[in-house]
Amino acid sequence: MMHAHSWWQTGVIYQVYPRSFLDSNRDGIGDLPGIISKLDYLRWLGVDAIWLSPIYPSPMADFGYDISNYTAIHPLFGTLEDLDSLLHQAHQRNLKLILDFVPNHTSDEHPWFQESRSNRSNEKRDWYIWRDPAPDGGPPNNWTSRFGGSAWHFDEQSEQYYLHLFDVKQPDLNWRNLKVRQAMYDILRFWLDRGVDGFRIDVLWMLLKDEQFRDNPMNPDWKPGDPPSARQVGLYTGDLPDMHALAREMRAIVDRYGERVLIGELYLPLTSLIQYYGEQLDEAHLPFNFQLVTMPTWGASTIRQVVDAYEAALPRGAWPNWVLGNHDRPRIATRVGREQARTAQMLLLTLRGTPTCYYGDELGMQNVAIPPALMHDPPGKQDPQHSRDPQRTPMQWDTSPNAGFCPPEVQPWLPVASDYHTYNVAVEQQETHSFLTLVRALLTLRRSSPALSVGSQRSLDQPNPACFVYLRQHGRQRYVVALNFSAHEQVVSLPEQGQGRLLLSTHLDHEGPMALGEMHLRGNEGLLIWLFPFESQMI
Ligand code: NOJ
């Protein structure tokens, strides 16, 4: 049965934030040669695909999500030859490479925008979204930037406003213009021809905007302290019905190249999210499922509800996926604490569907408090509470100064966590109970077991509200996963009185025969149990 699945279904994706992975040229910023030198680590860890956040030329107003040339490499990160070499060396190790595609906006320093801005009759004027001022001279409507303030910027020279749903240096492209689409599709083909295995598409749901430019409604639930981006409901700036035709166009391009993957970044409610699989499963292969990242409370019953609702909502044939962290959200070990984060990893790596792991989460890395003077992130500079810098700090490789991310005499672009002496690859590789040892063991078990990598998923009823228990099954192979979301000991009783074998505890300190009728879980403990094939099929 395994052969029926693609690599992006059976595999595990690992997100590398290139600035922070490994600095090979002593400038305090990570780069492509740095990533190449760590491919063996990623193979050892047991992931299957690397997704790179943007590595293209960029003025870095939004750390690479403001692109000034889509078909080259920023000198900070290396050269096109380095990218080719990364691809080649990754493929040699059976690792796939996924690039970040940022179609909603370019940098204001992109030649297209420079032309567009130069005068109103320029051939590329309509490549971006220009509008006359409102009658009072103010912005054309109430749309806000997700980084705060109006989404409109007045251009003195051509006396019109341009739209930027993110930073003022990130003007939005006009995806209703066919030439824009063609130019962007050429970029996809450029990288596919070079051999990349797919794309993660930045803010896929936002590419089209209301043609009448109607005001967005305000969010009645917004309260001070919430992110500025949540103040409005993006009714007219996202998830417009004609978006699906665009997603289908992108998919058709990628499909011509065989087994490549399209992953859509989509922060949408479940019913809207799953539309991006496409009616004929002809849009994104994996509309990113961020429910474990966005849920307001982390607990057994909420997670069971989320898992069950997602499984029930998935269109026939659609492949699930799960995300625990990324460069935009606080790290899991900070959100739920390091002890519970071990159980969170067991959840991520035993649920049905492709997991995406964020670099450093395999070590239990936490957010690092960044003093305001050292902040880089544009929204963070406006509102330090919502800075994304704390989750983007250098990867912790060893106990040497700067955690082995860059040489001792070099200042890393963001400070290294102060606890890096304990939490780093070299130390954790040696420790039998470390976070890294746990994540690697989970990845090894997942890879070697059809039930865990492609099997069915079913939540199991049991009376303890602090625990979430589920079954993964493929043919006669069955596993039970029992997760304790509380810090206290819990007992889980399954109706089946049968026997299984404990393969892995998140505490990494015991294994062996296990009676399912009464399982004792210590605080924050997760258990992975293999059920003897000859035991009853009651559960
Ligand atoms: C989503 C990216 O993940 C984020 O980092 C970026 O700031 C915005 N899109 C704008 O490109």
Percent residues over pLDDT 90 in the chain:
92
Longest dimension (CA), the chain: 78
**135-to-92, 126, 160, 438 alpha-carbon distances in Å:** 61, 22, 12, 62
Task: Name 254's Cβ contacts closer than 8 Å, sequence gap at least 6.
Answer: 188, 192, 198, 199, 260, 261, 262
Q: What is the pLDDT of residue 180?
A: 98
Answer whether 207 contacts ligand 1 (Cβ < 6 A).
Answer: no
Q: Residue 130 in contact with residue 161, Cβ under 8 Å?
A: yes
Mutate to test the pocket of ligand 1, among 145, 146, 166, 267 (most ligand atoms within 8 A of CB): 166
281 band by pLDDT with thresholds 50, 70 and 90? very high
- Distances from the Cα of 387 to the Cα of 369, 379, 384, 461, 527, angstroms: 10, 6, 5, 40, 35
Per-residue model confidence (pLDDT) at position 229: 80
264 has a pLDDT exceeding 70: yes
Say what the pLDDT of residue 3 is.
57
Q: Is 186 a residue whose pLDDT tops 80? A: yes
Which residue, by CA, sits nearest to atom 2 of ligand 1?
A: 202
pLDDT in tens, 430-444: 999 999 999 999 999
Q: What pLDDT, on a 0 to 100 scale, did the predictor assign at position 532?
A: 83
Q: What is the pLDDT of residue 523?
A: 98
| Span of 33-37, 230-234, 489-493 with lowest mean pLDDT | 230-234
| 456 Rama class: left (phi>0) / alpha (psi -120 to 50) / beta | beta
Amino acid (1-letter code) at residue 139: P
**pLDDT-based confidence at 538, cuts 50/70/90?**
low
Q: Alpha-carbon distance 451 to 27, whole Å?
A: 45
The residues facing 218 across adjacent strands are: 232
| 15, 17, 62, 388, best to mutate for ligand 1 pocket (most atoms within 8 Å of CB) | 62
Helix (H/G/I), strand (E/B), else coil: 36: helix
Q: To test ligand 1's pocket by mutation, which of 145, 203, 290, 356 has the most ligand atoms within 8 angstroms of CB? A: 203
Pocket test for ligand 1, best of 15, 16, 65 (most atoms within 8 A of CB): 65
Nearest partner of 112 among 182, 42, 47, judged by Cα: 182
What average pLDDT does the segment 200-228 reach?
94
pLDDT of residue 432: 97
Q: Is 249 a catalytic residue?
A: no
- Output the CA 202–ligand 1 centroid distance in Å: 6
Q: What is the pLDDT of residue 539?
A: 56
- Could you tell me whether strands 512-515 and 499-505 are parallel, antiparallel, or unpaired per DSSP bridges? antiparallel
Catalytic residue among 265, 361, 362, 525: 265
> For ligand 1, is residue 166 a contact (CB within 6 Å)?
yes
Q: Is residue 87 within a helix (H) or strand (E), and if so which, with residue range?
A: helix 80-92
| Res. 497 pLDDT band, cuts 50 70 90 | low
pLDDT of residue 461: 94
Q: Is the CB of 62 under 6 A from ligand 1?
A: yes
Q: Which of 29, 126, 118 minimizes the C-alpha distance to 392?
A: 29
Instruction: Output the CA 264–ligand 1 centroid distance in Å.
Output: 12
| SS3 call for 83 | helix
Q: How far is the CA of 184 from the centre of ligand 1 (A)?
A: 18
pLDDT per residue as tens digits for the range 510-525: 999 999 899 999 999 9
How do residues 397-406 score in pLDDT, each as one tens digit?
A: 999 999 999 9
Atom 5, ligand 1: residue with shortest CA distance: 328
Asked if residue 58 lies in contact with residue 74, where contact means CB atoms within 8 angstroms, the answer is: yes
Sequence-distant contacts of 76-85: CB under 8 A, at least 24 apart: 76/19, 76/27, 76/29, 76/31, 77/18, 77/29, 77/30, 77/31, 77/32, 78/31, 78/32, 78/33, 79/32, 82/31, 82/32, 82/33, 82/36, 83/32, 83/55, 83/194, 84/194, 85/32, 85/36
| Ligand 1 centre distance from Cα of residue 65 (Å) | 6
- pLDDT at position 383: 84
Residue 337 pLDDT more than 70?
yes
* Distance between CA atoms of residues 95 and 77, nearest Å: 20
The verdict on whether 172 is a catalytic residue reads no
Q: Where does the pLDDT of residue 1 fall: very low under 50, low under 70, confident under 90, or very high at 90 and above? A: very low
* Predicted pLDDT of residue 535: 57
d(CA 454, CA 175): 37
Residue whose CA is at the smallest distance from ligand 1 atom 11: 65
What residue owns the CA closest to ligand 1's atom 3? 328
Rounded to 5 degrees, φ, ψ at 509 are -120, 0
Closest of 146, 142, 171, 145 to residue 158, by C-alpha: 171
Q: Is residue 63 lining ligand 1, measured as CB closer than 6 Å?
A: no
Average pLDDT over residues 198-204: 98
Whether 328 is in the pocket of ligand 1, judged by its Cβ within 6 Å, is yes
Atom of ligand 1 at shortest range from CA of 105: 11
Report which protein residue has its CA nearest ligand 1's atom 6. Answer: 65
SS3 300: helix
What ranges in 100-177 are assigned the alpha helix state H?
A: 111-118
Tell me, using a 6 A CB cutoff, whether residue 51 lines ligand 1: no
Residue 378 scores a pLDDT above 70: yes
Going by pLDDT thresholds of 50, 70 and 90, the confidence category of residue 140 is: very high
Q: What is the pLDDT of residue 380?
A: 85
Q: Which helix (H) or strand (E) holds 150?
A: none
CB 500 within 8 A of CB 516: yes
Instruction: List 261's β-bridge partners, or say none.
Output: 198
Tell me which H or E stretch contains 491. Answer: strand 490-492
Task: Name the band, by pLDDT with cuts 50, 70 and 90, for residue 273.
Answer: very high
Ranges 68-77, 220-229, 340-349, 356-365: which has the least confidence: 220-229
CA 406 – CA 386 distance, rounded (Å): 27
Q: Is 130 in the pocket of ligand 1 (CB under 6 A)?
A: no
Q: What are phi and psi of 442, to 5 degrees?
A: -65, -45
Report the C-alpha gap between 344 and 492 in whole angstroms.
Answer: 18
pLDDT band of 2, cuts 50, 70, 90: very low
Average pLDDT in the 468-481 region?
Answer: 96
Tell me what pLDDT residue 148 has: 87
pLDDT for res 537: 54
- pLDDT band at 534; cut points 50, 70, 90: low
Q: Using the mean position of ligand 1's atoms as its centre, give its distance from the Cα of residue 237 in Å.
A: 15
Q: Please list the residues that pair with 482 across neighbouring strands.
A: 469, 527
Cα separation, 528 vs 249, whole angstroms:
42
pTM summary value: 0.97
52 CB within 6 A, ligand 1: no
Neighbours of 146 (CB within 10 A): 21
Q: Which of 23, 82, 202, 362 is flagged as catalytic?
A: 202
- Structure-token match 């819990």, residue found: 490
Atom number in ligand 1 closest to CA 378: 7
User: What average pLDDT does the chain have?
Assistant: 96
Contact between 152 and 172 (Cβ < 8 Å): no
CA of 525 to the centre of ligand 1 (A): 34
Distance CA 354, CA 344 (A): 15
